[in-house]
């Protein structure tokens, strides 16, 4: 793998000339042991702890060091009237972004940063060599090297985006004597957090602190919709004991971790739920209606004899109610994000006297609960029946007989007595429907101090990797891995 853009190049850093290796000829390719407790076995594994690997070296500091002759200068403005500056010693730029634009216009130039916090979300995307070095003290037009204790922490590039500093397809990037970190909000998307994300760019970190905060927890799944209300009061298939609907088993939690890709980490969601709960059964049968004998059946008379037709009358039986509907399925929980201090895609990185620190991986989200089943509808009572006193009368012409509503007009006497025969008691309400299927839980996200992707190479000297705990995998989902370094070919 050729890295001609760095081969034989010297990055001038004041009095120190740092030889940048040609990564195409580099034979060192180390994978540090990681605490991988979250990896074994589908659907789980314990949540791995964080840790630290290596010891950071002490960088040489020369108080007499002078800024590079062709440097652009940046310092936080002291007064509002200072304006944006022009990049000179006397009028430094007020922001790193202004200095980068000027350096890109030149085809590359070293940028010297006075101590301070530069709250900027920087993306370096022009094919020029970039060089940023901190730990300088600006006193009017004079600039001197800061060698007092803790100087590397006094020049900070702080981003409010998910990534502290992004560089892509540049000739090279050199960072020296400064801190790079992000302060993205704890809920801000995307869920992963990166201190430095370098794509197809050769990078040197010399006495640099790069850190990523804890990643964001995966979103919990949303609950399923409730079962549709049931209004049916007359159902077939009444049962002796109403049986509630059944909730399906939860969808499978994420058994695999997310994937590291050219654009970063893609979290692993749980399996989506698809099954509604089953409907409840119809209710218990209703009671039988009452009976009465010696009634004029239907209050009718014989057509020739004008005698009442006598028989038994029975009220209707009670009806059972319909069962409730099943609830809808919940959605899957999303996977937690990754926390990675330095993510390198292609080319290579040289790490000298530096500390890379990643936060905890994001926990996976729980699957959404299935929607509750609806309540079954009550049964209906049986319909009552009418028992008429068995009376008839004949009217002129004598072969006509009347009863009921026709009685008064024909017979000129009181209508027959009507007695109500009670219908059966209502049947039982249908059983409640079952809840819908719960969505699968998402996997926990990983924590790595360094990720090398796509044949990226590394040279390391006297540096330390600090990594956080892997994200928890709830409800049997896989926990996030954690380790100092991960190599993804």
Rounded mean pLDDT, 182-207:
96
The predicted pLDDT at position 454 comes to 95
Instruction: Give residue for tokens 């991986």.
Output: 361
454 with 343: CB under 8 angstroms?
A: no
Min mean pLDDT across 34-48, 228-242, 431-445 is at 34-48
Is residue 488 pLDDT above 70, yes or no?
A: yes
Tokens at 123, concatenated? 């993306």
CA distance 398 to 455: 114
Is residue 16 pLDDT above 60, yes or no?
A: no
Long-range contacts, stretch 98-102, CB < 8 angstroms, 24+ apart: 98/74, 99/72, 99/73, 99/74, 100/124, 100/130, 102/72
**Beta strands at 264-266 and 291-301: parallel, antiparallel or unpaired:** unpaired
The predicted pLDDT at position 43 comes to 44
Is residue 471 pLDDT above 70, yes or no?
A: yes
**What is the secondary structure of 384-396 as a DSSP string?**
PEEEE----EEET
Of the two residues 460 and 413, the one the predictor is more confident about is 460
pLDDT band at 11 (very low <50, low <70, confident <90, very high): very low
pLDDT band at 15 (very low <50, low <70, confident <90, very high): very low
Rounded mean pLDDT, 24-29:
32
The predicted pLDDT at position 41 comes to 36
Over residues 380-390, the pLDDT tens digits come to 999 999 887 77
CA distance 259 to 125: 25
Min mean pLDDT across 29-38, 245-254, 319-328, 375-384 is at 29-38
Tokens at 261, concatenated? 């890709």
The predicted pLDDT at position 95 comes to 96
The predicted pLDDT at position 27 comes to 27
Min mean pLDDT across 2-16, 19-33, 351-365, 441-455 is at 2-16
Name the burial class of residue 163, with classes exposed (0-12), middle (13-18) and buried (19+) by CB atoms within 10 angstroms of its CB. buried
Tokens at 423, concatenated? 């219908």
Instruction: Calculate what percentage of the chain has a pLDDT beyond 90.
Output: 75
Rounded mean pLDDT, 296-318:
73
The predicted pLDDT at position 79 comes to 62
Over residues 321-370, the pLDDT tens digits come to 999 999 999 999 999 999 999 999 999 999 999 999 999 999 999 999 99
CA 401, 407, 412, 414 torsion-angle sign: positive
**Beta strands at 163-168 and 193-199: parallel, antiparallel or unpaired:** parallel
pLDDT band at 298 (very low <50, low <70, confident <90, very high): low
Rounded mean pLDDT, 101-127:
97
Min mean pLDDT across 68-72, 80-84, 462-466 is at 80-84
The predicted pLDDT at position 78 comes to 72
Is residue 77 pLDDT above 90, yes or no?
A: no
The predicted pLDDT at position 415 comes to 72
Rounded mean pLDDT, 105-118:
97
The predicted pLDDT at position 20 comes to 41
Cα 88 from chain centroid (whole Å): 47
Rounded mean pLDDT, 443-451:
98
Tokens at 12, concatenated? 């001038």
The predicted pLDDT at position 84 comes to 86
350: nearest Cα among 4, 28, 12 = 28
Is residue 252 pLDDT above 80, yes or no?
A: yes
Rounded mean pLDDT, 102-122:
97
Is residue 42 pLDDT above 60, yes or no?
A: no
> To which H or E segment does residue 482 belong?
strand 482-488
Rounded mean pLDDT, 96-114:
97
């Amino acid at each position: 793998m050729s890295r001609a853009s760095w081969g034989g190049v010297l990055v001038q850093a004041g009095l120190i000339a740092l030889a940048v290796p040609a990564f195409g000829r580099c034979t060192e390719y180390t994978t540090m042991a990681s605490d991988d407790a979250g990896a074994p076995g589908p659907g789980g594994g314990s949540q791995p702890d964080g840790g630290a690997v290596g010891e950071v070296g002490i960088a040489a500091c020369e108080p007499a060091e002078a800024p590079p002759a062709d440097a652009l200068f940046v310092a936080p403005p002291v007064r509002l009237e200072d304006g944006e500056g022009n990049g000179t010693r006397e009028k430094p730029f007020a922001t790193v972004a202004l200095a980068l634009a000027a350096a890109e216009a030149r085809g590359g130039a070293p940028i010297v940063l006075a101590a301070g916090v530069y709250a900027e979300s920087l993306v370096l995307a022009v094919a020029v060599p970039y060089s940023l070095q901190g730990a300088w003290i600006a006193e009017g037009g004079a600039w001197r090297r800061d060698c007092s204790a803790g100087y590397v922490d006094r020049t900070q590039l702080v981003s409010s985006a998910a990534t502290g500093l992004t560089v892509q397809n540049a000739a090279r990037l050199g960072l020296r004597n400064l801190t790079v970190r992000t302060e993205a909000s704890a809920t801000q998307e995307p869920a992963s957090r990166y201190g430095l994300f370098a794509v197809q760019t050769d990078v040197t970190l010399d006495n640099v602190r790069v850190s990523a905060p804890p990643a964001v927890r995966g979103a919990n799944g949303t609950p399923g919709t409730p079962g549709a209300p049931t209004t049916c009061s007359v159902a077939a298939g009444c049962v002796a004991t109403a049986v509630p609907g059944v909730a399906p088993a939860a969808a499978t939690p994420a058994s695999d971790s997310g994937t590291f890709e050219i654009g970063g980490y893609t979290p692993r969601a749980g399996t989506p739920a698809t099954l509604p709960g089953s409907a409840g059964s119809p209710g218990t049968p209703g009671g039988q209606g009452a009976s009465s004998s010696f009634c004029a059946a239907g209050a009718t008379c014989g057509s020739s004899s004008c005698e009442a037709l006598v028989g038994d009358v029975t009220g209707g039986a009670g009806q059972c109610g319909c069962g409730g509907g099943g609830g809808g399925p919940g959605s899957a929980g999303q996977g937690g994000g990754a926390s990675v201090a330095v993510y390198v895609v292609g080319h290579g990185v040289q790490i000298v006297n530096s500390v890379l620190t990643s936060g905890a991986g994001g926990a996976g989200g729980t699957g959404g609960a299935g929607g509750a089943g609806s309540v079954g509808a009550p049964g209906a009572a049986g319909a009552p029946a009418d028992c008429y006193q068995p009376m008839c009368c004949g009217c002129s012409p004598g072969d006509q007989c009347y009863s009921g509503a026709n009685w008064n007009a024909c017979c000129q006497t009181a209508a027959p007595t009507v007695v109500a025969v009670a219908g059966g008691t209502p049947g039982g309400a249908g059983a409640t429907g079952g809840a819908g299927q719960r969505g699968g839980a998402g996997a926990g996200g990983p924590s790595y101090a360094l990720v090398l992707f796509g044949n990226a190479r590394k040279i390391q000297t006297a540096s330390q990797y600090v990594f956080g705990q892997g994200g928890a995998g709830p409800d049997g989902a896989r926990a996030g891995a954690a380790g100092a370094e991960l190599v993804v070919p």
